Chain A
Amino acid sequence: MKKVFKMKKLRIISVCGSGTVTSSMIANKVKDLLEDNGISATTVEVNPGGVEQLVVSGSYDLIVHTSPLLSAYTIPTINAVGFLTGMEEEEFIEELLKTAKELTK
């Protein structure tokens, strides 16, 4: 029997103060990292005010952020500042991969 390999796509919200700059940088790095680990991902970049609406839509799995978030959300959130500077990069990668694997189970 032929085995069909189905890869789940993760939908990620990337958040920074402007919703453009830092969030794009993080989004690109996150996509690359996940791809290297066999997980496909799409991202959307927003500022903190835009998060609620996206979460409510129910079509997103995870939030990565470099600015403070406005409230607590029902999907996992990971602070990505360490991933920008390379400080605490290992911790971020570990948490991201762990969460991503959990979500794509």
Chain B
Amino acid sequence: MHLTELFDENMIELHGEYSSQTNFFKKISSRLQELQYVKEEFCNKIQEREKKFPTGLVTKSFDVAIPHTDPEYVKRSFIYVIRLKPTLAFCKMGTDPMEHELVYPKLIFLLGVNKGELQLTILQSLMKLFSNEKQMSSLLEIKEKSSFLQHLQKYLSTNEI
């Protein structure tokens, strides 16, 4: 499977507005369940995991987050991309959530992967993208969903790991 197949225009939000992290996870999860990508437990599991192992990341451009959970709650692999405005607080990856070390992601890549190996490829490609300041700033500026998707797919297909 090619990385670019994991994206879909139906799973890109360029104007994501959510009142809280819980609200965010609930709405996205129910959308994903409607689209038959995840199982019912996905919503709780992804929140539980985020509380234990936070996924907020600081990059050279701006903060991002890559929430995900175990493969068993995912029916089909996907990457759901949300551009948040206003942003939401996420705890920083690698820190103890009790310490409340927060980041404020402008972009969220919510990952659903039902094969462990694929997850490593996705992660490597995303990290490469996150360190590319030019690509990242384009992702904040693009106005159309279709061009956002094209841009992302073009970058990821030329950077196959």
Contact = CB atoms under 8 A, between A and B. Distances in A.
Nearest to A18: B70
B120 A24 contact: yes
B123 A22 contact: yes
A84 B116 contact: no
A67 B131 contact: no
Contact of A86 (B49, B52, B123, B131): B131
Nearest to B91: A68
A68 B94 contact: yes
A81 interface: yes
Interface residues of B, number: 22
Nearest to A79: B94
Interface in B120-156: 120, 123-124, 127, 130-131
Nearest to B113: A21
Contacts of B57: 81, 84-85, 87
B58 A25 contact: no
Interface secondary structure of A, over-half rule:
loop
A66 interface: yes
Contacts of A13: none
A37 interface: no
A96 interface: no
A21 B119 CA distance: 7
Contacts of B96: 68
Interface of A: 16-18, 20-22, 24-25, 65-68, 79-81, 84-88
What are the 10 A-B residue pairs with the smallest beta carbon separation, nearest first? Answer: A17-B53, A81-B94, A86-B131, A68-B96, A67-B53, A21-B119, A79-B94, A81-B93, A66-B94, A87-B58
Interface of B: 49, 52-53, 57-60, 70, 92-97, 116, 119-120, 123-124, 127, 130-131
21 contacts: A17-B49, A17-B53, A21-B123, A22-B123, A25-B123, A25-B127, A66-B93, A66-B94, A68-B52, A68-B53, A68-B96, A68-B97, A79-B94, A81-B57, A81-B93, A85-B57, A85-B58, A85-B127, A85-B131, A86-B127, A87-B59
